[in-house]
């Protein structure tokens, strides 16, 4: 929990860098807000602070209808308490408890359901099911605020199979019925258009340049202020376009899906692809403490993700020991030849499509074609839930391929691509700069030690790439 004095300064200044890191509950109104709420700030003796919206709700407060706490960037208070809990949270956010039971989820995590309940109660103060229901209700609230979807479709998109169950949960968790929530706000569009917020800084120009250099025509599209692509998730298809609104610290995202039931996991994955939940102020502070004084950090640098782990693996294999442009050409040819074509564009080829092809159209060594086929066959027989480290058993896949896929397909923040040619070149340049500086300065020059940058080594990798 942040210091109360820090929280007070942040809420009075409406500092967007703290948005989502804590929530302000007002005792006199029974409402909890974000730090950026436009309402007149209450007196300090009338507020209390919570590390999450869930804890504020469990204490009897309802969300503010002006600042909409459901729209705040995520800032999980459980970070750092263990991989099991973090993975459980991620799976629940993707709808795991809507598709299976708690014992099944626990088995997937390799723990007992009793231990999983203990973790949630110890660190979040609620059960896994309560957490899941509250997240569903917050997502429904976002849809009620920002779209004109009928309430029945809002319920379906939020993971509820029964309107009665939806109404009961919504009223219990948020102290208002869905109808009351809809009456108190103006729906702005019949399309699924949502605003996804982040905490500044966000260097969109650098991310746009990175994505542009690797853009696959038909699969993706980009403009100076937007990025979009076709998507598949849980067997459903669609597309999204995210437009950067710098003055609002958010992306306005238009989403089209053939089934709204997967809307919530789609939104969660868009947040991951754009790295909207990273606390760049903390990350850059930590990196600045361990980097040499000759290293100039690029402010607001995020991790551009790839939509799925399978696609990330294929892109990594095609990018082995070739230039960015050469890899892009190979991926483009693969999508053009094997990707399903629709009126919206092309979808990334399925594992089945790649595994059943000889890939003769790809101008590359046959050994690498066979690696692609083996990799696709592996995904036909397993699933994306298998850890990428298992890929090392496949001939033709080494540590760089696995690391790259984890960094961009899973958005793992702690991957250092030490064997990458671009990283090696940037490190040499940094070393030369350090030697030159040591000759003209009496101050000690520290060398760059990647291990000291943990747990933010992926961000260090992108910092080094940005130096090229």
Token output for 147: 């779209």
Cα 255 to Cα 191: distance, rounded to the nearest angstrom:
8
Structural domain boundaries of the chain?
A: 4-64, 83-183, 192-276, 288-298+419-466, 309-409
- With a cut of 90, say whether residue 76 has pLDDT above it: no
CATH dotted code for 192-276: 3.30.310.20
83-183: CATH topology: Arc Repressor Mutant, subunit A (1.10.10)
SS3 433: helix
- With a cut of 90, say whether residue 218 has pLDDT above it: yes
- With a cut of 60, say whether residue 429 has pLDDT above it: yes
Q: What is the pLDDT of residue 189?
A: 43
Q: What is the pLDDT of residue 181?
A: 82
Cα 208 to Cα 229: distance, rounded to the nearest angstrom:
14
Residue 183: which residues within 8 A CB-CB, separation 6 or more? Answer: none
CA distances from 103 to 108, 110, 111 (A): 9, 10, 9
Nearest to 360 by CA among 369, 368, 352: 369
pLDDT-based confidence at 267, cuts 50/70/90? very high
pLDDT-based confidence at 438, cuts 50/70/90? low
The mean pLDDT value for 304-320 works out to: 97
Q: What is the pLDDT of residue 125?
A: 84
Counts for the chain of helices (H) and strands (E), in that order: 20, 11
Average pLDDT in the chain: 90
The mean pLDDT value for 65-93 works out to: 78
Check if the beta carbon of residue 230 is closer than 8 Å to that of residue 345: yes
CA distances from 24 to 30, 33, 47, 280, 319 (A): 11, 5, 6, 22, 47
Q: What is the pLDDT of residue 95?
A: 82
Q: What is the pLDDT of residue 212?
A: 97
Q: Give the dihedral sign, CA 346/349/353/354.
A: positive
Q: What is the pLDDT of residue 2?
A: 66
Check if the beta carbon of residue 349 is closer than 8 Å to that of residue 338: yes
pLDDT-based confidence at 443, cuts 50/70/90? low
Nearest to 230 by CA among 218, 244, 213: 218
Cα 347 to Cα 221: distance, rounded to the nearest angstrom:
13
Strand pairing category for 192-197 and 31-33: unpaired
More confident residue, 144 or 447: 144
* Buried-exposed string 253-292: b where 16+ CB fall within 10 A, e elsewhere: bbbebeebbbbbbbbbbbbbbbbbbbbbbebbebbeebbb
Q: What CATH architecture does domain 4-64 belong to?
A: 3-Layer(aba) Sandwich (3.40)
State the DSSP string of 120-173: HHHHTSS-HHHHHHHHHHHHHHHHHHH----HHHHHHHTT-S-HHHHHHHHHHH
CATH dotted code for 309-409: 1.10.340.30
Q: Helix-strand-coil percent breakdown of the chain, rounded to 5?
A: 50, 10, 35
Nearest to 132 by CA among 120, 122, 141: 120
Cα 234 to Cα 95: distance, rounded to the nearest angstrom:
11
More confident residue, 82 or 457: 457
Q: What is the pLDDT of residue 439?
A: 56
Question: What tens digit of pLDDT does each residue of 164-198 get?
Answer: 999 999 999 888 899 888 865 554 444 799 999 99
Check if the beta carbon of residue 195 is closer than 8 Å to that of residue 188: no
- What is the pTM for the complete model shown? 0.87
Question: What tens digit of pLDDT does each residue of 374-385 get?
Answer: 999 999 999 777
Cα 367 to Cα 378: distance, rounded to the nearest angstrom:
16
């Amino acid at each position: 929990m942040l210091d109360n004095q820090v929280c007070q300064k942040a809420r009075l200044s409406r500092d967007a860098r703290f948005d989502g890191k804590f929530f302000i509950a007002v005792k006199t109104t029974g409402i909890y807000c974000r730090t950026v709420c436009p309402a007149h700030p209450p007196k300090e003796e009338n507020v209390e602070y919570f590390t999450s919206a869930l804890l504020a709700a469990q204490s009897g407060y309802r969300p503010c209808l002006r600042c909409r706490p459901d729209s705040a960037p995520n800032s999980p208070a459980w970070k750092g308490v263990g991989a099991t809990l973090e993975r459980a949270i991620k799976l629940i956010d993707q709808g795991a408890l809507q598709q299976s039971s708690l014992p099944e989820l626990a088995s997937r995590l390799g723990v007992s359901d009793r231990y999983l309940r203990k973790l949630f109660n110890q660190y979040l103060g609620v059960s896994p099911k309560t957490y899941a229901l509250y997240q569903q209700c917050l997502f429904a609230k976002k849809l009620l605020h920002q779209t004109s979807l009928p309430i029945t479709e809002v319920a379906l998109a939020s993971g509820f199979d029964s309107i009665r169950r939806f109404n009961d949960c919504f009223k219990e968790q948020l102290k208002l019925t869905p109808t009351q929530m809809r009456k108190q706000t103006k729906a702005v569009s019949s399309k699924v258009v949502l605003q996804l917020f982040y905490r500044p800084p966000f260097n969109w120009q650098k991310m746009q340049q990175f994505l542009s250099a690797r853009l696959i025509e038909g699969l993706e599209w980009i403009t100076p202020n937007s990025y979009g692509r076709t998507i598949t998730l849980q067997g459903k298809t669609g597309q999204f376009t995210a437009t950067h609104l710098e003055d609002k610290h958010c992306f306005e995202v238009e989403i089209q899906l053939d089934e709204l039931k997967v809307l919530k996991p789609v939104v969660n994955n868009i947040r991951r692809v754009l790295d909207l939940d990273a606390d760049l102020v903390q990350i850059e502070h930590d990196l600045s403490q361990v980097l040499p004084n000759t290293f100039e950090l690029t402010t607001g640098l995020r991790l551009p993700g790839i939509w799925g782990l399978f696609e990330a693996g294929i892109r990594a294999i095609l990018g082995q020991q070739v230039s960015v442009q050469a890899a892009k050409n190979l991926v483009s040819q693969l999508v053009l030849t094997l990707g399903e074509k629709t009126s919206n564009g092309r979808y990334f080829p399925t594992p089945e499509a790649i595994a059943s092809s000889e890939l003769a159209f790809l101008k590359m060594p046959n050994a690498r074609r066979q690696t692609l086929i083996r990799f696709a066959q592996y995904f036909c027989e397993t699933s994306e839930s298998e850890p990428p480290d298992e890929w090392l058993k496949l001939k033709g896949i080494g540590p760089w391929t696995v690391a790259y896929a984890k960094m961009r397909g899973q958005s793992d923040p702690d991957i250092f691509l030490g064997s990458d040619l671009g990283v090696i070149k940037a490190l040499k340049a940094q070393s030369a700069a350090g030697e030159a500086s040591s000759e003209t300065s009496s101050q000690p020059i520290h060398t760059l030690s990647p291990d000291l940058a943990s747990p933010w080594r992926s961000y260090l990798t992108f910092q080094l790439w940005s130096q090229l």
